[in-house]
Amino acid sequence: MDDVKIGEILAPGDDETQERRAKQVQSKFWPTLKRAARYVPFSRDVVAAFYCATDPGTPTRVRGVLLAALAYFVMPLDILPDFLAMVGFTDDVAVLATAFRMIQTHIKDDHYQQADRALADDPDLKSAPAS
């Protein structure tokens, strides 16, 4: 997946776009993560990014980038459809990894602590690879 396409995917969008993405991410994040956990080598970072994106204290542009990446992650049909075994989440991983590099200083210890609690509390995610 080339950088131009990833850049288009990660555009923060206007307030309306961010609100639409936030609703989509809120409703589909956990079920998608449960399906993808064994394919995403940095599940803890993905969950921390979710908490960062839903934190009202996170700057708007950072929230926009994270919501764009997470919305791409939860969409079942993207460049490589997620139902394709083994390869379906590779494009999602590329988008998420790029987003993390762009905003990594904004994911705070508190977001990671929330992620650790969520991962520890959910038996379907306990077997997810550590980041």
Q: Which residue has the higher pLDDT, 72 or 9?
A: 72
Give 81's DSSP letter: -
Q: CA 100, 102, 108, 114: dihedral to nearest 10 degrees?
A: -30
What token pair was written down for 19? 């609100």
pLDDT of 131: 45
Distance CA 122, CA 96 (A): 22
State pLDDT tens for residues 56-108. Answer: 999 999 999 999 999 988 876 554 444 444 455 667 778 888 898 889 899 99
pLDDT of 79: 46
Amino acid in position 122: D
pLDDT of 30: 92
What token pair was written down for 82? 């997620």
Q: Where are the beta strands (DSSP E) in the chain?
A: none
- H/E/C letters for each residue in 107-120? CCHHHHHHHHHHHH
pLDDT of 88: 56
Helix-then-strand count for the chain, H and E: 6, 0
State pLDDT tens for residues 31-47. Answer: 888 877 777 778 899 99
Contact 126, 120 (CB under 8 A): yes
Instruction: Say how far residue 69 (Cα) sits from the centre of its chain.
Output: 5
pLDDT reading at 2 higher than 90: no
